[in-house]
Chain A
Amino acid sequence: EIVLTQSPGTLSLSPGERATLSCRASQSVGSTYLAWYQQKPGQAPRLLIYAASSRATGIPDRFSGSKSGADFTLTISSLEPEDFGLYYCQQYGDSPLTFGGGTKVEIK
C-alpha cells in the first residue's frame, strides 16, 4: 500500500499569503495518478487538482499542482478567505487507492 505523507499538519497563514502544501509518496506514483481535494467542515471533499497539475472544472487558477521526484505540491498563490480548510492528496497509482492524512490551512 502506498502511504502518502502530507506536511505540514497545519499551516497558519493570512489572506493574501502563499500556501505551499506537500505530499510525499512512500513509493513511486506517476504524475497522472495524483489528485488534491479540499474539504470544509460539514462538507464533502471537493476535487481541486488531478493528474498532479490539472485543475478540475471551476477551480480558480490560484490553485496549482506540481511534482518533483517523489514529492507533490499544491500551491495556493494568494489565499482567499474561502480557501481555509483541510486539504488531502490521493493516489491511484497502486491499489488500494489511498489518501494522505491531510493538511489544515487555518487563518493566522
Chain B
Amino acid sequence: QVQLQESGPGLVKPSQTLSLTCTVSGGSISNGGYYWSWIRQHPGKGLEWIGYIYYSGNTYYNPSLKSRVTISVDTSNNQFSLRLTSVTAADTAMYYCARTGIASRSYFGMDVWGQGTTVTVSS
C-alpha cells in the first residue's frame, strides 16, 4: 500500500529556510486523483494545513503562510517537497505529509499520512 516518509533537517536557524521532502512509496504520485499535502502541528496544539500540490504542479497554499511557502513535486523520484522561508520559533512544529483525495465536488480526506518529522527553529 502507499506509504509516505518525511525527511529533512530537524534543526533550522531563525531566518533560514526550512526544507522537507516527502517520499511516496507503493504507488505513483503521478497517478492522479490525489493531491499531496503538507500539514503541521505545533507542540501540544492542533493541526494546520500548509498547502498541497497536484502531480501536474498546481499548488494551493494557506493564505497565512503563502508568502513564505513553496511546495514542489518531483515525479521522477516520486517525491514532493516543502520550502518555508524566513523561519522563526513559531515555525517549530511536527510536519506531516499526507495524500489528499480531491475530485470535482468531492473530498475524500487525507487518507495516508507520513509519520511526521519534528522541526525545531533555534540558533
Q: B-contacting residues of A (Cβ < 8 Å)? A: 1, 32-35, 37, 43-47, 49-51, 56-57, 88, 90, 92, 95-102
Contact = CB atoms under 8 A, between A and B. Distances in A.
B114 A95 contact: no
A44 B49 CA distance: 14
Interface stretch (B19-27, B73-81, B102-110): B102-110
A50 B105 contact: no
B107 A99 contact: no
B116 A44 contact: yes
B48 A99 contact: yes
A99 B110 contact: no
A54 to B, nearest CB: 8
Given A88-B47, A96-B49, A35 B109 contact: yes
Interface of B: 46-49, 60-64, 96, 98, 101-102, 105-111, 113-116
A45 B110 contact: yes
Given A1-B63, A32-B105, 19 more contacts: A33-B107, A35-B107, A35-B109, A37-B47, A44-B96, A44-B113, A45-B47, A45-B110, A47-B111, A50-B101, A50-B107, A50-B109, A51-B106, A56-B109, A56-B111, A97-B62, A99-B48, A101-B46, A102-B46
Contacts of A35: 107, 109-110
Contacts of A51: 106-108
A103 B12 CA distance: 32
Nearest to B62: A96
Contacts of B63: 1, 95-96
Contacts of B114: 44
Contacts of B111: 47, 50, 56-57
B12 to A, nearest CB: 21
A88 B113 contact: no
A46 B71 CA distance: 23
Given A44-B115, A50-B101, A98 B49 contact: yes
